[in-house]
Amino acid sequence: MNQEKVIVIDFGGQYNQLVARRVRECNVYCEIYSYRTDLEQIKAMNPKGIILTGGPNSCYEDGAPTYRKELFELGIPVLGLCYGAQLMMHVLGGKVEKAPIREYGKTEVMVDTTSPLFTDVSEKTICWMSHFDYISQVADGFDIVAHTTDCPVAAAQNLEKNLYAIQFHPEVLHTQEGTRMLHNFVRGVCGCSGSWRMDSFVEQSIQEIRQKVGDGKVLCALSGGVDSSVAAVLLSKAIGNQLTCVFVDHGLLRKDEGDEVEAVFGPEGPYELNFIRVNAQERYYKKLAGVTEPETKRKIIGEEFIRVFEEEAKKIGAVDFLVQGTIYPDVVESGLGGESAVIKSHHNVGGLPDCVDFKEIIEPLRDLFKDEVRKAGLELGIPENLVFRQPFPGPGLGIRIIGEVNAEKVKIVQEADAIYREEIAKAGLDKSIGQYFAALTNMRSVGVMGDERTYDYAVALRAVNTIDFMTAEAAEIPFEVLQKVMSRIINEVKGVNRVMYDLTSKPPGTIEFE
């Protein structure tokens, strides 16, 4: 999208996604890139401003993440936050040292309200501090514009060069006037007009899609999940019946899900879509037989998807475009943006086969976070129950079954997952937990049931709380609920004799198992 944007350079801090979110809340479009991103690439994006995030390192140590000095000489306003602030000073000749007193938590900060960062901010304001290093000396040309009792440089600025450094975290809500400070930076200092909105996203996307597609035919990969549903409705608003939605039942869906999706998007549902359901279960199980390596499984599932679409496309004749509901975290984690390590090849991003029979792929949600996709969904008039649906990955149960996938294992995990979801809903927890599901471990162990020895599978229960699916914490589910789920699964699902609860956060784990 050709519009004003602010670039956030990621140094690995825990609040980095929040920075992007707050900037967008100021109605300014924002993207996050790794600190490894080349300066030329940053320049080419022509950002109105640059924000350097926090991070866990000490900037003066060997091997700590850093950035070239030239970044500060582009004439583009730069705001450093926490580690980013220290790094700015370090690179420009100031001094950063271990702080005699570590500051953590809500702290009263005295600010100079004549600084453009602190326009309309109170002279004494509560901010969130979290640092063990501090700026003991600012670089030449900088003035100190905020301090605390223990921290002599809580903020500094070089007005002439438009460089700003803030030791605390304006992006977290504990910083009471943090949003105002970020607003001051992006709207005031950077001069962004603040024209980015979800409705303008929807409007602009519709225009762009119309322009791109012309009178071409478009095929949409509909999974029934939030992302592809929003993409489908967006496309249908843009091009009406030039769009055909293909829903592949790959036999890796949750219990009864195929029929539920058909009920919403099929001929009986509220949308005017060309809807085709392809029952490809057998075909998938055949392809996946004997395959255990997670990336290979993902690739096979993704590739088979494309093959099925190609076949459907041929039936429709001359399809020019394929639509996918890829969202920003998928792009990041597939190593196509942000930090470059490939964590998983997200379905239909890294998993795309080389030869695709379409002119182009359209990914209208590629720059959005999950909660923004939901906002776009509401903006498009999609019912709330669909918009706030549990996320479900494209490769489906294929990545919730560790090791080889077969019809028997699919059945086990479908049944266990249905019980888990039912009990979570009964306990009234379904709205408060970010994502929860059952997975089938590849572990079999010895048990005893009715005096008989058993040798069956272990089901793992996963439940995480997350804002943006980039980081997550295991959810605290009351023990009675877990016990109820365990007992029902063991009693009702044949082939399972053990149930475990996964406590791992992300990182180091991921939300899905493969």
Q: Which two tokens stand for residue 152?
A: 């002599």
Measured distance CA(154)–CA(121) in Å, rounded? 15
Q: Which two tokens stand for residue 506?
A: 């992300």
Residues 157-216 within binding reach of ligand XMP (CB under 6 A): none
Helix or strand holding residue 44 (H, E): helix 39-44
Min. distance of Cβ 80 from ligand XMP in angstroms? 29
- Residues annotated as catalytic are 82, 169, 171
DSSP 424: H
Total residues at interface with ligand XMP (CB under 6 A): 15
**Pick 103 or 330: Cβ nearer ligand XMP:** 330
**Residue 186 neighbours by CB under 8 Å, 6+ apart:** 6, 23, 26, 28, 48, 49, 192
Check the CA dihedral 114-115-118-119 and report its sign: positive
Min. distance of Cβ 454 from ligand XMP in angstroms? 30
**Would you call 39 helix, strand, or coil by DSSP?**
helix
Check the CA dihedral 59-62-67-70 and report its sign: positive
Find the binder of ligand XMP among 131, 217, 347, 375 (CB under 6 A).
347
Q: Which two tokens stand for residue 308?
A: 């099925």
Find the binder of ligand XMP among 10, 133, 171, 333 (CB under 6 A).
333
Among the listed ranges 62-70, 172-180, 204-212, 504-512, the one in contact with ligand XMP (CB under 6 A) is: 504-512
Min. distance of Cβ 225 from ligand XMP in angstroms? 7
Min. distance of Cβ 511 from ligand XMP in angstroms? 3
Among the listed ranges 182-190, 306-314, 344-352, 421-429, the one in contact with ligand XMP (CB under 6 A) is: 344-352
**Pick 327 or 493: Cβ nearer ligand XMP:** 327
Q: Which long-range contacts (CB under 8 A, 24 or more apart) does 343-347 make?
A: 343/510, 344/294, 344/295, 344/298, 344/510, 344/512, 344/514, 345/295, 345/298, 345/299, 345/302, 346/394, 347/298, 347/301, 347/302, 347/305, 347/393, 347/394, 347/395
**Pick 274 or 510: Cβ nearer ligand XMP:** 510
Residues 374-413 within binding reach of ligand XMP (CB under 6 A): 391, 393-395
Measured distance CA(80)–CA(75) in Å, rounded? 15
Residues 434-473 within binding reach of ligand XMP (CB under 6 A): 435, 469
Q: Cα–Cα–Cα angle for 423, 427, 433, nearest 5°?
A: 90
Question: Considering just the CA atoms, what is the radius of gyration of the chain in Å?
Answer: 25
Q: Which two tokens stand for residue 416?
A: 């266990």
Residue 510 touching ligand XMP (CB under 6 A): yes
Q: Which amino acid is at 483?
A: Q
Measured distance CA(486)–CA(455) in Å, rounded? 17
Find the binder of ligand XMP among 277, 283, 307, 506 (CB under 6 A).
506
**Pick 135 or 402: Cβ nearer ligand XMP:** 402
Residue 346 touching ligand XMP (CB under 6 A): yes
Residue 421 touching ligand XMP (CB under 6 A): no
Min. distance of Cβ 325 from ligand XMP in angstroms? 7
Min. distance of Cβ 347 from ligand XMP in angstroms? 3
Among the listed ranges 121-129, 286-294, 342-350, 411-419, the one in contact with ligand XMP (CB under 6 A) is: 342-350
Min. distance of Cβ 323 from ligand XMP in angstroms? 14
Among the listed ranges 92-100, 236-244, 341-349, 497-505, the one in contact with ligand XMP (CB under 6 A) is: 341-349
Measured distance CA(368)–CA(17) in Å, rounded? 12
**Pick 127 or 470: Cβ nearer ligand XMP:** 470
The neighbour count for residue 126, using CB atoms within 10 Å, is 15
Measured distance CA(238)–CA(8) in Å, rounded? 31
Find the binder of ligand XMP among 138, 221, 380, 511 (CB under 6 A).
511
Q: Summarize as ranges the residues that interact with ligand XMP (CB under 6 A).
A: 330, 333, 344, 346-347, 391, 393-395, 435, 469, 506, 510-512
